[in-house]
Amino acid sequence: MRLHTTTVRSLSALAGLALAGCTTGSTPADDPVSSDSAPTQQEGKHSPVPELLSSAALSKRLLDESDLGEGYTRKPQQPRPQDDVVVSGCPALEKLGGDAAVGDSLDFPRRAKASFTYTGGSDLEAAEELYSDSAAKLSRGVSRIFDAMISCPTYQVFVGSTSVDMGTEEMAAQPLGDEQWSQLLTYSVGRQRKVVQQTAIRIANVLVVVSGSPGVVDAHLAKAVDKAQRAW
């Protein structure tokens, strides 16, 4: 069975956007910070907390080709897949729903994202998402999604009529920022197999999510975190 384009897009969303797919509550971009935005006990060295960043401000802090190095090209934004997405074999993720699993209903209104591919002949990809919200909302939302995903080492995702076997393994994240989450996701469709690392770092009220080929994520994660907080 061939891994169709719509399936690839859905799985890319699952790898890169699932984190914020089912967070509780949101703060509109022009509204004051809500009462639960006070820094958590894990804020530590990044206090005092900066103001929430707009989507425009976040977009300026994304990695670009010059950060990644020669051979990387930014990919145009892809439309969201129209196929229905259903999760099976993982009660925690089933409860969140298929749309949430592929980030189809993000609750963090301040966000920016970029995707890159390597043109040097290797099948290397990288994607970065930046979100800004209260520390409490970011922490709660990411933990909820990660806990659900790692609770099921194996499960299935149905993208339209295509069945995808999923594997999830928790990883140790680099000690960056105030909170860290990391996992290794394996997608199998027929004889085709793809491995994606997904690492999220919270720095005060900014969330950095880098996903893609494991070596690429490890190589560029610290740079992404540094750029996200450079102006503080």
- Is the dihedral angle over the CA atoms 219, 107, 13, 117 positive or is it negative? negative
Residue 32 lies in a domain: no
Where in the sequence is the domain holding 180, given as residue range(s)?
Answer: 5-22+39-228
Q: How many domains does the chain have?
A: 1
d(CA 94, CA 97): 5
pTM: 0.78
User: Is 27 within the bounds of a domain?
Assistant: no
In this structure, of 10-24, 62-76, 173-187, the range with the lowest mean pLDDT score is 10-24
Q: How wide is the angle at C-alpha 135 spanned by C-alphas 134 and 140, nearest 5°?
A: 105
Residue 112 domain-assigned? yes
CATH number, domain containing residue 151: 3.40.1000.70
In a domain, 30, yes or no: no
What token pair was written down for 189?
A: 């469709």
Calpha distance 79→98 (Å, rounded): 17
**Tokens at residue 134, please?**
């209260």
The structure tokens listed for 181 are 């989450």
Would residue 125 count as lying in a domain? yes
53 or 9, which is more confident?
Answer: 53
Write the pLDDT tens digit of every residue in 95-137.
Answer: 877 655 544 434 688 999 999 988 876 678 889 999 999 999 9
In a domain, 33, yes or no: no
